[in-house]
A and B are shown apart, each in its own frame.
Chain A
Amino acid sequence: MADNQCSACVELKFPCKPEYVGVARLAILGVASRMRFSYLDVEDIRLAVGEACTTSVEWAKKNDRSDSDIVMRSEIGTDSLIVDIFDQAGERKEENRADDPDQETENIGALLITLLVDEVDVTSSNGGTHVRMVKHARQR
């Protein structure tokens, strides 16, 4: 994981529902825009965060946990931005996915995250999932 000296943290808690994913995107756009990221890098971060939150929302719906919350925490470092997405959307059970029409969309979402950020780590955490994404700032 990145050796990142954190200078500030921004945390946002919001309902695990489709209509709030745009709020998370807007918040991370504000955070990333304050750093030494290029315009394209900021767009990449916005899309990656949107995809991570969307996956949480879809699993919450499947697991009947749409009344739970998502916490997004961004650590603003000197050279990189670390974004943690914590959900309480229940277990992501692969065996419950037979003929799942959302499978393709989720695969595209996961592919996008991998391509858009420099590091990604997904772990199960207390009845939900923790996604950590790291984007390194490059010289403009």
Chain B
Amino acid sequence: MNFKMETHSGGTELPTVELQGEVDVYTAPKLKQQMIKLLESNTRELIIDLTKVDYLDSTALGVLIGGLRRIRERDGNMVLVCPNTRILRVFEITGLDKIFEIFTSLEDASESMGKEAP
């Protein structure tokens, strides 16, 4: 299965989950576990980088919605980086582009949170 996930955090950098490949019913549970782990460690600001994602389905959207809800309950924020128009289209046709803050670059996403890009 074509899926990779790396989490960058520490120092003054914003915690960033960088996803690669296909995020679907098989791989989304791994993303969910990672997000739960980050939230349990009191992460209140999070960037999910979808730049290298080439497929994303409703299971992934469900995990992202759950993460956003939990982080907002703690007065935090989670933003997405998605320069890929094909992936962005999934957010647009489901109306989720109105729920998530979506940026086309990691720099723009970091700037929106008042930090430098990792």
Contact = CB atoms under 8 A, between A and B. Distances in A.
Interface residues on A, range: 20 to 34
Given A18-B25, A115-B93, A51 B57 contact: yes
A104 B93 contact: no
A77 to B, nearest CB: 25
Interface residues of B, number: 17
Interface in A46-82: 46-47, 50-51, 54, 57-58
B26 A109 contact: no
Interface string A97-127: 0000110111011011001100000000000
Contacts of B1: 19, 22
Given A21-B25, A22-B26, A43 B86 contact: yes
A25 interface: yes
Given A43-B86, A108-B62, A50 B26 contact: no
Contact of A104 (B22, B55, B65, B86): B65
A21 to B, nearest CB: 5
Given A18-B25, A18-B26, A25 B55 contact: yes
B94 interface: yes
B59 interface: yes
B39 interface: no
Contact of A58 (B22, B25, B61): B25
A39 to B, nearest CB: 9
Contact of B90 (A21, A25, A47, A54): A47
Interface in B39-82: 55, 57-59, 61-62, 65-66
Nearest to B63: A105
Identify which of B59, B61, B62 gathers the most chain A CB atoms within 10 Å of its CB.
B59
A112 B22 contact: no
B59 A112 contact: no
24 contacts: A18-B26, A19-B1, A19-B26, A21-B24, A21-B25, A22-B22, A22-B24, A22-B26, A43-B86, A50-B55, A50-B57, A51-B58, A54-B57, A54-B58, A57-B25, A104-B65, A105-B58, A105-B62, A106-B58, A108-B94, A112-B90, A112-B93, A115-B93, A115-B94
